[in-house]
Each structure stands twice: as structure tokens, then as C-alpha cells.
Structure 1
């Protein structure tokens, strides 16, 4: 163990759970309380192993597809990332009792897609192939209606059927700056392209990235607490590096910290993705406190007070 030399630890605020993640986890917990175990959950409710394991211990059973669930009267929950229309259709065909924990801000993108289709527009979705949110959004409409664009190069190469009647949507957890570059290309090439009625990248993603931009130039290195399959957490690492921080590491737990990087630092920034609970941030702080004499400072760039309503079937359990 190194000597306890001083360490400035800059805590980003906002960080950690957003309203959509908090709502999704509460839906699973309240469903277990109201109906008892087992409760089936299609896909990880949010992208965080600690959260998933915690819910498993309480009686949640996680599956990737509905065909892994036996014929049952037990509740089935769809994850916060959203699902293609085929999923609730299959659940209805099997007479399943299901609850949808899709983040309302993802549902907003789904509704936008359906409005654009109503007006006959060809839709560009900016996002990452294979991410559950992208799969869910593209699955709101018939195949071929939505075209996925991942990069600036994709945007330069995209050829619509009618450049005068197209629109774009975005995944809610993207890099704000990278997305702006892609939108700039689409807008230059297709001046008539219809933007989202309101920004699709969600408030929490934007706020966490802005907080990292404020802290990263002040830190020798940054830690992002989050999961490897969490898009918003991965983007925070990228934002930290682009904002001038020499080192940034994504860790799921304190045990993942690469001390060869962080023991040499005098100032470290710390944040957490939107699906990472604060208890894991505390774990990281305690790990540094065992090795160094800490000087904690919170740098706040926004206040968040967003709350989303629970499904009607669970409101009594919440009360």
C-alpha cells in the first residue's frame, strides 16, 4: 500500500441514476412487493450488473427473450431501453401480464417515429447498432422504414429515396458532440430534413456529459462508474478524454481500478453513468480513502428534479 499522500477528488454532479433508471428499478421492486416472486424481466432492466444481481436476489428472473419464460401468470417486465412492437404483441398472444418499464424519454422517440411514418417520411436513426434501445426504436415500424446511421461517414454515404421528405431521430444516450457532427452533415446534405420536435438525447445524458466536460480539464485522470454495455457510461469516458483528461477508466466496482494510473495522480475526477447506483460511487471513494488522504469537492453543473410516473398497476403498492 502506498503512503497516504493527499488526493483531490472532484465529484461530478449530476451523476448516477436518472429518473428513467430509477423508475425502471422501482417497477421491478414494487412488482415483487405487489405480486411476489418470481417476476420475469426481459433483458437487463438497466445496464448495471450490481443492480441486476440485487434484483435477482429479491426474486427477479432475467431473460433475453419471451420464449425463455414458461407459461405463467407471473408478471413480465420490459426493460428501460424499450422493445420492438413484436414483443408486447407476443406477450399479448400468450396472455401474459406485462408491465412496460421503458423510459418515457425513449417512448417519446418511439412516438416521433410513428408520427414521421404517418406523414410518409423516410427516417434516419442516429445510434449504435445492436443496442437494445436502437433495436426497440427500429422495431416500432416495418423493416426498411428506419435507416441506422452510426458515424459521420455513414451520414455522408446515406442516400434517401426522397431528400425532400426525411427526418432524423437519435438514441437517447449518445455523445452530444458526436451527434451534433452527424446532424450537421445530414442538415448540409438534406436541408429539408425534419429534426426531432424536442432534442432526443435525454437531459440526464446531456447533464452528465456537461459535468464531465467541466471536471476533466482539472483532473489528471477520471473514473466513470458504470457497465461496459452501458452506452451513456461509455460516452462519459470518451467525453472525458476529448475534454482534455489524459486518462479515463470505466469501472464496474472499486476492484476494477487500475492503481498504476490513479496512484500517481494528484487530482482525480469521479462520475457515474445513469444506470450506476450511488453505493458504487461510495465504494470507489472509500477505496481511494484507504490509500490516500482525500480532499473531496463536488462540482455541480445542473440541478435535476425529474420524476416519472409509475404504471397504474403499481401506484397502490408505491403508496
Structure 2
């Protein structure tokens, strides 16, 4: 997980490594020490609730489910049984209702030792295809956001791979790097899955079109750079692609060009239990900021926190 990454950023630079061994140094936007907003207090989790001023944001982000169905909702090999609540230990995460709980499981492929690194941005349909397979395969990914006019990571893609094309993937476990969403998907399912591309990600132009339609409710969000401070360490977020609550947070992470490790945890992911054990509750998104020590739930409040802490 995140502990495998040892970031020791210099006071004014962020080191970005390429699969060919070259290291690029990205100048930080500011040297000011980072701290939470004044009088900040992390909100308690409020399951199945939406802050009134965020209703339209969540509704717009939810439109993706109409076009992409269950793609990225469930991890590979997902199965579920309804059992009496008494069969699930109290220290084990499970969704419950009316005296019953869901006993969920999955069949995952080999796990990478280090998070896959992906350069992309939120409102790109080709990037979304890759984010969906990340959810299906239950991978942890270090995302380098590349919004338009972003000064840091979008230019580095050209330097590393020779082309200004997104998404761009680097696998530090194998030294493989590549462009082209379909090629990335085939690589990931071959290396970390069962080798089979899910049907809704294998329909060529139809897949790309539905990926584009899926973002109609959030047109333009997560695509343009907002001047920001580049953090010394990547933020961490527990989330998955299909969640509209996670979507609105990811948009801001991209716009602020904040590198982040995404712990993907769609239904059936064993990482749901890991988060449950760490904080005593499971709900996404959950943000951990190692630069300020903040850990928090609630998408609208996370968006407020990110803007207050990192926007210039």
C-alpha cells in the first residue's frame, strides 16, 4: 500500500521517475508549510446523505451509471450471498439490512508490489476507460493529474514517452510504460487479472462513446488547471470510479494537479475491510493527507478542504 512509497521530496522540488531510469524534477508551486484551514475539524461520516449545496453535483456525476452500467462498480470475480447478520463477526465490514448482511467476495489476480503510475485527467473518455479497469482489478494507482495548462505533469509525459498523449502508464514493477487506453487495459488484465477484458471495455468505438456520454453531467469538470501548491507527498484517497461522491473529489484533485494514491475499493474489494479496521468505518471517499495529518470522510467537505489547503 502507500507505505511502500518512500517520498523524500526536497524543499522545492518533486522527483518524478520514468521507467527508463530517468528522473525529472518538478518545481513546487510554493514553499509555504502546509497546514489544515483555520479551525478545521474533520466532519463525522454521514452515510447516504448529501450536503444540500452538492445535490446537483452528485446527480450529474450519477449519470455515468446509466451509460456504463455496473462497469467499475464490482471487482473481478465478485460474488455475494445474503446471510443472517449473526454470521458476520462485528469486526468485519459488511453491508447490512433488516437482520441480514451481504457476504461479498472476489477473485483477484496477482498484486503489484508498487502502485501503478498513471498520467491522466478526469474528463477524458480514454482515461476513464483505464480508471474503470483499475476498479475492476482492484489496483492501487499513483495518479499524476494532467489538467490542461497544468505546469508539472502534463509536460513530463512528452519528456518520458516522446508524445503528448494521455493516458500514459508506467509500471514500476516491470519497467513497462505505454500510451493508448486499450493497450493499457490489455496489459493490466494480462499482468494483474485473468487476461480477459470485461465486455463493456472491449466494444471499441461503442465503449469510447458511452464513456463520453457518461461524463455529460459533469462536462468540463476535472480538465482545467487551477493554480495550486504542489504537496511534498502524494495525498491518498480511498475511492472507486463508479461512485459519484468519489467523482466530485477526484475532479478537484485533478484541477489542483495534486498527485494522489488511489486505493481502489469497489464492491468486493478486500480493501474495504482494511479501511474499516483502520478507522472503524467504511465509506468512500476517504481522504488521507500526509502533509497535514488530516483524515476525513464526506465528499463536499473534502472538496472544501482541498481548495482551502492547496488552491492559490
The bucket for the TM-score relative to the shorter chain is: under 0.3
Question: What is the TM-score of this pair, normalised by structure 1?
Answer: 0.22
Larger Rg: 1
**TM-score, scaled relative to structure 2:** 0.22
The structure with the largest helix share of the pair is 1
